[in-house]
Structure 1
Amino acid sequence: MIHESIAEKLDIEKFSPTSNTFRIADLGCSVGPNTYIAMQNIIEAVEEKYKSKGLESQLPEFQVFFNDHVTSDFNTLFTFLPPERRYFATGVPGSFYGRLFPKSCIHIMHASYALQWLSKVPEEVADKDSAAWNKGRIYYSSAPVEVANAYAAQYAKDMDNFLNNRAKEIVAGGMLLLIMISNPDGIHRSQMGCGVMYDKVGSSLVDMAKEGLISEAQVDSFNLPVYTASPKEVICLVERNGCFGIERMMTTHPQLRNDDNVDEQICSMSMRAALEGLITEHFGSEIIDELFDRFHKEVAGFNLMDSRHKKGILLLLALKRK
């Protein structure tokens, strides 16, 4: 989809003829090899675009900006940069919900598995005096509607900030390529596969509180800053923002290719990789092994791939700056 979007929609004719540098940014890059693969795919697609326009002699040099929070391990990221890469690498620390770059300097921005992370937990869900207080839970999937609405409102605010800032930074004719975890239209939040897993982490924490290993107050004050929007929600927010046009959209169900149970060890390791930092910051590192041992037992024999929970999808969006 990314290759096709660049081939059909990237307006290289609008780019400044005096600049021979093509700038790409990966937002929420983390430290693993996925970011290198994604950047190489984009570069190959851009080179093909230039060649298709008869501009092979004008192929630009590439500069890639790797962005993530200031706490990200940029040393590891740059230690393992591919030696055969065809780009100049730069690190840009900071939240992608704020400004990261000067005006009109980036040609393509990419974000994969990043925009489900909110800028912060909605304040109402940790307020004992609020109807949205999320007592005894760490997520909104099985919570009352007031909690879900608080999460949705925070997501809408974050997306508006994200799109406004990207519109300032992307050049005319440039593109924003997003790969997002999504909840299918018409599926209740309680049936989201990721939500079921987060709930099981939450129930493990509740059990530990009942046994006195952690306090109940600690559990009540801990909520995950994650929201999974439906395609309809995302489209509505992009259109309401008005800075970008939707050039291409596709949903995919990669889990549907797997009819087997999800291996509980892989599931446990994946959840630990995603959540350990947040949990350690709130509860301390001493509980981590015990928590994920319990979580492992919770998911043993649980069929995440049954018809109720394998509805989770990926939403792929190609947006162009207006």
Structure 2
Amino acid sequence: MAAAEETSKSSEAFPMKGGDGPNSYFKNSIYQRGAVDVAKQILNNEIAEKLDVEILLPSNTFSLADLGCSVGPNTFSAVDNILEAVRLKYQCQGLDSQIPEFQVFFNDHTLNDFNMLFKSLPPNRQYYAAGVPGSFHGRIFPNNSIHLFHSSSTNHWLSRVPKELVNKNCPAWNKGEIHYSNSTDEVVKAYEAQYAEDMECFLHTRSQEIVSGGLMVLIIPGRPNGTPHSKTLPNMMLQLLGTSLMEMARKGVVVEDKVDSFNIPAYYMSPQELEAAVERNGCFNIEKIENLPSPLGDGAAIGTRVLAYHMRAASEGLIKQQFGEEILDELFDLFCKKLEQKPSIFESGKGIYFLVVLMKRMPN
């Protein structure tokens, strides 16, 4: 399929809150930054052991793509970590004179605040930078053009809300809920099917874009193997956000029908689910899969208001499109109060970040 055709199937795009204001993702993404930081040493070791520079030597350009880059600064930290590890790999093999030039592609939805991203690019960076708009659920690069893909805190986002959820006549009609965490089996199955479809597409398109022997590094917020969806911490937080919206509907602040037809397109996979998806795809070897230490300790230690701001930075675009901008302050104040009233969810809820390193298989 042509790249233009695949891109035309673009997902519902509601990127992170742009700008650098108090509610922006730029100011409210320290938890995601923590995941990049705790993965750094493992990633360095994997690049040192697994990156085959012999494959790359014919080229004098090393191409790195960060998928779901948002507005910074986290993407710049991840890129610096990776390129430092690649340089060290060349040096350790006595190839100092053959270290390539670095081209970094920053990818996100077309509605992402690329102006903010480029405005905050590190001035002393040692790479060429380019923005590549488009959903990573479709093709965004030419065949065999990328040596290393990186993506952090992005693969839980689905390409769209499962279509069954917005059909009132379907058993998966998700009345009174905004997510699958406390919903019927039909709703959960619809989310699982959408996740499977999206991950199949993600792996298929990346397998075409990456060179043989190239690496793909994913840092994924998910749930531990065997943990019920209802006991997964991110899902429990989304459940509280849903109850906040329903409380506002009972007060007449928002229309209940709008809550009934509103669903968050996010799915928190387990490492086992990711492994199964990679096996079905058949184009990659799993070089590493490991649970990461908690980026910043538990949620209670971070502070409920910080978490509420993080949730707002990530979901404001979705909520504003459905309910309008005027409800946002009241909604997230209420959500913050509910978090404060239920500190136990930070003890009972299970959530993980896990690191996956994939290598594109060499042709037979």
Pairwise TM-score range, normalised by the shorter structure:
over 0.9
TM-score (normalizing by structure 2): 0.85
Contact 1:262 1:304 in 2 (8 A): no
Residue of structure 1 in register with 2:139 after alignment: 99
Residue of structure 2 in register with 1:317 after alignment: 356
Post-superposition offset of 1:139: 0.5
Residue of structure 1 in register with 2:221 after alignment: 181
- Residues 37 and 287 (structure 1), Cα distance of their counterparts in 2 relative to 1, 3 Å cut: same
CA offsets 1:237-265 (integer angstroms, 9 cap, x no match): 11111111101111124068449554221
Residue of structure 1 in register with 2:15 after alignment: none
Residue of structure 1 in register with 2:78 after alignment: 38
CA offsets 1:131-186 (integer angstroms, 9 cap, x no match): 11111000101111111111011001000100011011111111100000110011
> Residue 115 in 1 paired to residue 155 in 2?
yes
Residue type at the aligned position of 1:185: N
CA offsets 1:92-141 (integer angstroms, 9 cap, x no match): 00000100111101000000000000000000111111111111000101
2:172 to 126, 132, 136: 132
Gaps of 5+ in 1: none
Residue of structure 1 in register with 2:46 after alignment: 5
Residue type at the aligned position of 2:54: E
TM-score (normalizing by structure 1): 0.96
Contact 1:119 1:225 in 2 (8 A): yes
Q: Secondary structure at the match of 1:254?
A: coil
1:77 to 92, 117, 121: 117
Post-superposition offset of 1:15: 2.4
> Residue 287 in 1 paired to residue 323 in 2?
no
Post-superposition offset of 1:188: 0.9
Post-superposition offset of 1:303: 1.6
Q: Please show how residues 132-151 of structure 1 align to structure 2 within 5 Å.
A: 132-151=172-191
Alpha-carbon distance in structure 1 between the residues aligned to 2:130 and 2:305: 35
Residue of structure 2 in register with 1:191 after alignment: 231
Contact 1:253 1:312 in 2 (8 A): no
Alpha-carbon distance in structure 1 between the residues aligned to 2:351 and 2:259: 27
> Residue 200 in 1 paired to residue 240 in 2?
yes
Alpha-carbon distance in structure 1 between the residues aligned to 2:271 and 2:156: 13
Contact 2:57 2:98 in 1 (8 A): no
Alpha-carbon distance in structure 2 between the residues aligned to 1:161 and 1:231: 18
Q: Secondary structure at the match of 1:229?
A: coil
Post-superposition offset of 1:305: 5.9
Alpha-carbon distance in structure 2 between the residues aligned to 1:176 and 1:129: 41
Contact 2:299 2:307 in 1 (8 A): no
Residue type at the aligned position of 1:319: L
Moved more, 191-200 or 58-67: 191-200
Contact 2:236 2:345 in 1 (8 A): no
CA offsets 1:190-222 (integer angstroms, 9 cap, x no match): 111111111111111111111111111100110
Residue type at the aligned position of 2:353: L
Gaps of 5+ in 2: 1-41
- Residues 40 and 307 (structure 1), Cα distance of their counterparts in 2 relative to 1, 3 Å cut: same
Q: Secondary structure at the match of 1:64?
A: strand
Q: Secondary structure at the match of 1:138?
A: coil
2:287 to 247, 251, 259: 247
Residue of structure 1 in register with 2:32 after alignment: none
Post-superposition offset of 1:281: 0.8
Residue of structure 2 in register with 1:232 after alignment: 272
Q: Secondary structure at the match of 1:14?
A: helix
Alpha-carbon distance in structure 1 between the residues aligned to 2:281 and 2:315: 31
Contact 1:260 1:305 in 2 (8 A): no
Post-superposition offset of 1:279: 0.1
Q: Secondary structure at the match of 1:30?
A: coil
Residue type at the aligned position of 1:133: W
Contact 1:261 1:305 in 2 (8 A): no
- Residues 140 and 91 (structure 1), Cα distance of their counterparts in 2 relative to 1, 3 Å cut: same
Contact 1:255 1:305 in 2 (8 A): no
